[in-house]
């Protein structure tokens, strides 16, 4: 009896949540939004509202002005979540912005499994079907130029959310080739070590210029055609650690991307991510958090300047989730509410490197010199006890960036020492579930405003893009199960290379060959471009392909 009562309550809760979502959606659908030529989406990954406050005060304290570039455009808040959990990670939350489909932790632009904890109904008949993204739709349906600019490695969660599909965000073997075969016009970020011979050969075939670790070559690039510029084996360094002569800033990459993309007559779509605000928050590294966000805010300034001048560009700026519960003020700092700006921001303003950067120096420093070196980069005199803590910590950088703030590594101990001298607080080393801030610009004032759900962000993007075909309709056209596309035909899956299986189809004298995670197929030995990527899901041993392929045979 009691169990039945609880089940009824839970059922009613789901109905109420669904009704609320329906009301939100109807409200947005009723909003008139004039389509524009260009769309820029900017995501400061893992940025809680406390980061905005700290960055703003940091600027003011250091004589850099009192406002952020984003400030004039703040219009509301966004509730961001996974399909079955109120607190999401970048894969499902960014994917919802990109596709409008709620997804589970780890999912990249794909329909999720049904679970017992789904917040909204999940269509189990679509599980594992790739969900078309706004980037794909604008490239395919509107013939727009498309691009991504990030500071992480290129197949990391958020950039992959807009340009690839898989149920597991860590599967770079599946995500990286999809991104390469999307034939994007611009891809700036990190990840030279992730490039494969196949990707490099594809770039040669389709005329993509590849720039590796050459800031000047990127910033002076003015040629026609597609261009990728990557720095480092994986991610770029934190902005506070960046050598400005060797590695471009996020603002520089954003400005160059806009310059190149805006040459296209049909317009463009660009997603820019301040990727490592999130990483610094995982590490509880306040100085790195502030510098990462300010670097992102400079990029926002570039985008907004272009949008206002261009007159046909909409811009959305919003985080994908919060991180670390970052606050100005903590219980470990009694009387913090009476401290001066100098007492609150003096220490963090003197830090010259991230904890990551400091660690890279300390691991090569003699024990007797560590106090002096620590002082040089932080202006902090460490105690003998703190010195022993550094010497006894794990002498390596934590491999999992999400655990840097909690495991017993040198970075963690450096952060603890620095945080003991400040009044910044952290509740966790992981993601948090609060709403994130929203900024919006539209040349006719048709902005996204108030409090919205993450699904509504995607609805707005579809409207401002002027799409005549919905993303779901596009998904059902370009991501169809191979046994449906080739029903009645002779086909087989070659798994000689299990990471890149090949689907072979025979009909009469015709032979069609389709390689997983590519966009190039072969008909009777001759290559041709599909215009969209081929996605293979091992969980159901299925290729997802354009329905029109059947007409080739």
Closest CA to 545 of 447, 476, 489: 476
* Tokens matching residue 417: 């020492």
Strands 38-44 and 268-274: parallel
Residue 536: Cβ-neighbour burial (10 angstroms; 0-12, 13-18, 19+): buried
Looking at residue 541, which CATH number applies to its domain?
3.30.457.10
CB 417 within 8 A of CB 7: no
* Tokens matching residue 540: 């159901």
pLDDT in tens, 124-167: 999 999 999 999 999 999 999 999 999 999 999 999 999 999 99
CB 423 within 8 A of CB 339: yes
| Residue 86 domain-assigned (yes or no) | yes
Report DSSP letters for 249-291, one per residue: -HHHHHHHHHHHHTT-TT-EEEEEEETHHHHHHHTT-HHHHHH
| Residue 7 domain-assigned (yes or no) | no
| Residue 211 domain-assigned (yes or no) | yes
Same domain, 318 and 350: no
Same domain, 266 and 377: no
- Evaluate if residue 181 carries a pLDDT over 50: yes
pLDDT in tens, 319-375: 999 999 999 999 999 999 999 999 999 999 999 999 999 999 999 999 999 999 999
- Evaluate if residue 92 carries a pLDDT over 70: yes
Contacts 24+ apart (CB under 8 A), 334-340: 336/423, 339/423
Same domain, 42 and 135: yes
More confident residue, 433 or 20: 433
Report DSSP letters for 334-399, one per residue: TTGGG--HHHHHHHHHT--S-HHHHHHHHTTS-GGGHHHHHHHHH-----HHHHHHHHHSBSS--S
| Residue 19 domain-assigned (yes or no) | no
* Per-residue model confidence (pLDDT) at position 392: 86
pTM for the whole structure: 0.93
| Residue 168 domain-assigned (yes or no) | yes
CB 276 within 8 A of CB 45: yes
* Per-residue model confidence (pLDDT) at position 401: 54
* Tokens matching residue 142: 């509107």
* Per-residue model confidence (pLDDT) at position 227: 98
Cα–Cα distance between 262 and 310 in angstroms, integer? 9
- Evaluate if residue 72 carries a pLDDT over 60: yes
- Evaluate if residue 402 carries a pLDDT over 70: no
pLDDT in tens, 485-498: 999 999 999 999 99
Same domain, 164 and 273: yes
- Non-local CB neighbours of 46 within 8 Å, separated by 6+ positions: 90, 277, 278, 279, 281, 282, 319, 320, 321, 322, 323, 324, 431
Same domain, 103 and 152: yes
- Non-local CB neighbours of 29 within 8 Å, separated by 6+ positions: 459
| Residue 70 domain-assigned (yes or no) | yes
Domain that holds residue 359: 334-425
What percent of the chain lies above the pLDDT cut of 90? 90
Terminal Cα-to-Cα distance of the chain (whole angstroms) = 60
State the average pLDDT over residues 502-513.
96
Same domain, 340 and 451: no
Structural domains counted in the chain: 3
Q: Quickly count: other Cβ atoms within 10 Å of residue 364's Cβ.
A: 8
* Tokens matching residue 134: 């706004």
Same domain, 207 and 91: yes
* Per-residue model confidence (pLDDT) at position 2: 42
Tell me the CA distances in angstroms from 92 to 80, 110, 252, 280, 497, one per residue in order.
Answer: 9, 9, 28, 20, 28
Same domain, 338 and 319: no
Looking at residue 153, which CATH number applies to its domain?
3.40.720.10
- Non-local CB neighbours of 393 within 8 Å, separated by 6+ positions: 408, 409, 410, 412, 413
* Tokens matching residue 28: 């947005």
- Evaluate if residue 231 carries a pLDDT over 90: yes
Same domain, 412 and 448: no
Strands 227-230 and 209-212: parallel
Q: What's the whole-number average pLDDT of the chain?
A: 93
Confidence band, pLDDT 50/70/90 cuts, at residue 406: low
* Tokens matching residue 53: 């406050």
Same domain, 499 and 444: no
Confidence band, pLDDT 50/70/90 cuts, at residue 6: very low
Strand partners of residue 46:
none
| Residue 228 domain-assigned (yes or no) | yes
CB 424 within 8 A of CB 325: no
pLDDT in tens, 272-300: 999 999 999 999 999 999 999 999 999 99
Tracing tokens 């606050």 back to the chain, one arrives at 327
3-state secondary structure 171-231: CHHHHHHHHHHCCCCEEEEECHHHCCHHHHHHHHHHCCEEEECCHHHHHCCCCCCCEEEEC
pLDDT in tens, 514-543: 999 999 999 999 999 999 999 999 999 999
| Residue 85 domain-assigned (yes or no) | yes
Same domain, 438 and 546: no
Same domain, 144 and 46: yes
């Amino acid at each position: 009896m009691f169990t039945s009562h609880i089940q009824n309550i839970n059922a009613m809760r789901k109905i109420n949540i669904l009704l609320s979502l329906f009301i939100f959606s109807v409200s947005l659908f009723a909003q008139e939004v004039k389509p524009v030529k260009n769309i820029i989406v900017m995501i400061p990954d893992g940025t809680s509202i406390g980061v905005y406050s700290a960055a703003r005060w940091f600027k003011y304290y250091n004589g850099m002005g009192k406002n952020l570039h984003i400030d004039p455009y703040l219009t509301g808040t966004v509730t961001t979540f996974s399909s079955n959990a109120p607190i999401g990670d970048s894969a499902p939350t960014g994917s919802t912005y990109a596709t409008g489909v709620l997804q589970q932790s780890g999912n990249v632009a794909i329909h999720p499994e049904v679970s017992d904890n789904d917040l909204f109904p999940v269509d189990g008949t679509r599980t594992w079907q790739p969900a078309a993204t706004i980037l794909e739709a604008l490239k395919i349906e509107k013939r727009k130029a498309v691009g991504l600019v990030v500071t992480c490695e290129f197949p990391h969660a958020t950039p992959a959310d807009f340009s690839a599909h898989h149920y597991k965000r860590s599967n770079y073997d599946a995500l990286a080739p999809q991104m390469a075969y999307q034939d994007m016009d611009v891809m700036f970020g990190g990840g030279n070590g992730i490039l494969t011979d196949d990707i490099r050969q594809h770039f040669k075939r389709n005329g993509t210029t590849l720039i590796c670790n050459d800031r000047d070559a990127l910033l002076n690039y003015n040629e026609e055609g597609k261009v990728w510029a990557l720095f480092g084996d994986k991610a770029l360094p934190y902005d506070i650690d960046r050598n400005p002569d060797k590695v471009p800033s996020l603002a520089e990459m954003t400005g160059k991307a806009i310059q190149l993309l805006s040459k296209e007559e049909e317009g463009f779509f660009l997603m820019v991510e301040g990727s490592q605000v999130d990483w610094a928050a995982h590490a509880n590294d306040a100085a790195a958090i502030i510098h990462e966000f300010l670097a992102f805010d400079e990029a926002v300034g570039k985008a907004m300047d272009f949008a206002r001048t261009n007159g046909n560009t909409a811009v959305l700026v919003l985080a994908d989730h919060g991180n670390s519960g970052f606050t100005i003020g903590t219980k470990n700092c009694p009387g913090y509410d009476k401290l001066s700006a100098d007492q609150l921001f003096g220490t963090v303003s003197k830090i010259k490197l991230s904890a990551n950067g400091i660690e890279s120096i300390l691991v090569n420093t003699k024990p007797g010199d560590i106090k002096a070196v620590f002082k040089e980069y932080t202006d902090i005199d460490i105690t003998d006890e703190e010195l022993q803590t550094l010497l006894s910590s794990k002498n390596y950088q934590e491999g999992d960036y999400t655990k840097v703030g909690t495991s017993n590594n040198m970075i963690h101990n450096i952060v603890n020492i620095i945080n003991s001298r400040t009044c910044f607080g952290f509740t966790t080393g992981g993601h948090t579930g609060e709403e994130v801030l929203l900024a919006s610009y539209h040349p006719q004032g048709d902005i996204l405003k108030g409090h919205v759900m993450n699904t509504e962000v995607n609805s707005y993007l579809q409207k401002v893009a002027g799409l005549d075909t919905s993303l779901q309709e596009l998904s059902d056209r370009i991501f169809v199960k191979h046994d449906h596309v080739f029903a009645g035909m002779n086909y087989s899956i070659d798994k000689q290379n299990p990471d890149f299986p090949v689907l072979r189809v025979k009909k009469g004298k015709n032979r069609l060959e389709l390689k997983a995670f590519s966009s190039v197929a072969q008909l009777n030995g001759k290559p041709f471009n599909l215009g969209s990527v081929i996605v293979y899901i091992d969980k159901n041993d299925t290729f997802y392909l354009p329905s029109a392929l059947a007409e080739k045979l």
